[in-house]
Copies of this chain bind each other. A is one copy, B any other.
Amino acid sequence: MGRLMRLRAAISAAASVVGGEEHKGPLGGVFDMHDSSDRFGQTTWERAESEMQRRALGLLLNKAKCREEEVDALLAGDLLNQCVASAYGLMSYDIPYIGLYGACSTSVEGMMLAAALCTGGMSDRVAVVSSSHNCAAERQYRAPVEYGSQRTPTAQWTVTGAGAFLVEREGDVLIRSAMPGIVVEKGISDAANMGAAMAPAVLDTLLRYFEESKTRPEDYDLIVTGDLGYEGGSILCELMMAEGYDIRSRYNDCGMMIYSRSGDDKHAGGSGCGCAATVTASYLLPKLARGELQSVLLIATGAMMSPSSVMQGDAIPAVAHLVHLCAPCGKANEHREIEH
């Protein structure tokens, strides 16, 4: 059986909610809902994040024309201490709640587990939700945004956004397999350089995936990471090159896609649970559903440190979970079948 999970599931619907900076970015038009104030009608940033999750799941259920009682479980998580954005945001739904913590890898961790539950017949329909909020994350991990602290060139910008996905046995985009990540720690201890801490985790997962699936980068239209950003993305390409894989022509990163590069203080690109979640929900999945992309490796990466662990002098461990997404069969006819 091994560690590559062979799956027979699909994403049947997806929804996204973002803040003002994300709406101003190059993908701004694709997201389902935004609030330029980032407040979503709430009095604290943490509650605003919860409200984004609540709205993302509501939009998802509407799109899928699905009632609460038809969803067997919610798999959800976020970056806040004790994952309160998810617990509070989703508690108005009468759906079993299974909490995850994979830092910024949470969306793909959730897709992988949801697809496994549906493949195995344990669940008919599982929703996956994850989020991050720039102002809530920055004050928890670094300093309140209102202080105006200067950021380093390798720093990433935590995305304000929530993404939601409905996973069942059939749907617009197939989940063919998944490779769960192994925690990797290579000595990076700079919390303003998460890309460098997370790139080695992607390397580890990709190498194991290519080996177990007996495929190569050329077998995929796109290899896309969740939030390595410009710094981590270029490190990954170099690390892969040293292992004999040139992924540069088909590599991209949600954190590089969500903001424009110049002049808006985003430095090394986007990060946060909401980064991979919103870009996948509203940009990548529609392209797969329309057949514009046929076969995609989506790898979301989490930096698993806490402010305490960093203050105690520990380096930053990271994990990278992978799912293989495919266009529906009709639209992928031309594409070489690379698995099974």
Interface residue ranges, A against B (CB under 8 Å): 1-3, 5-7, 44, 46-47, 72-73, 77, 79-84, 87-88, 90-91, 94-103, 109, 112-113, 116-117, 119-124, 179-185, 302, 304-309, 312, 314, 317, 319, 321
Kindly identify which residue among B73, B84, B119 contacts A305, using a CB–CB cutoff of 8 Å. B84
Return chain B residues, CB-CB under 8 Å to A102: 98-99
Pairwise interchain contact B46-A308, C-beta atoms closer than 8 A: yes
CA distance A47 to B308 in the complex (A): 11
Given contacts A3-B73, A96-B180, A99-B304, 20 further A-B contacts (CB under 8 A): A77-B101, A79-B82, A81-B307, A81-B308, A82-B306, A84-B304, A84-B306, A87-B317, A88-B304, A88-B309, A96-B182, A98-B109, A98-B180, A98-B321, A99-B100, A99-B102, A116-B120, A116-B122, A119-B120, A120-B120
Residue of B nearest to A102 (CB): B99
CA distance A109 to B101 in the complex (A): 13
Pairwise interchain contact A314-B88, C-beta atoms closer than 8 A: yes
Pairwise interchain contact B183-A1, C-beta atoms closer than 8 A: no
CA distance A47 to B87 in the complex (A): 27
| CB proximity of A197 to chain B, nearest CB, Å | 12
CA distance A216 to B179 in the complex (A): 40
| CB proximity of A304 to chain B, nearest CB, Å | 4
Return chain B residues, CB-CB under 8 Å to A44: 312
Number of copies: 2
CA distance A103 to B81 in the complex (A): 11
Most buried by B among A5, A6, A181: A5
CA distance A302 to B183 in the complex (A): 25
CA distance A184 to B92 in the complex (A): 9
Pairwise interchain contact A122-B3, C-beta atoms closer than 8 A: no
Return chain B residues, CB-CB under 8 Å to A3: 72-73, 96
Pairwise interchain contact B308-A80, C-beta atoms closer than 8 A: yes
Pairwise interchain contact A121-B1, C-beta atoms closer than 8 A: yes
Residue of B nearest to A208 (CB): B96
Residue of B nearest to A125 (CB): B1
Pairwise interchain contact A5-B122, C-beta atoms closer than 8 A: yes
Return chain B residues, CB-CB under 8 Å to A96: 3, 179-182
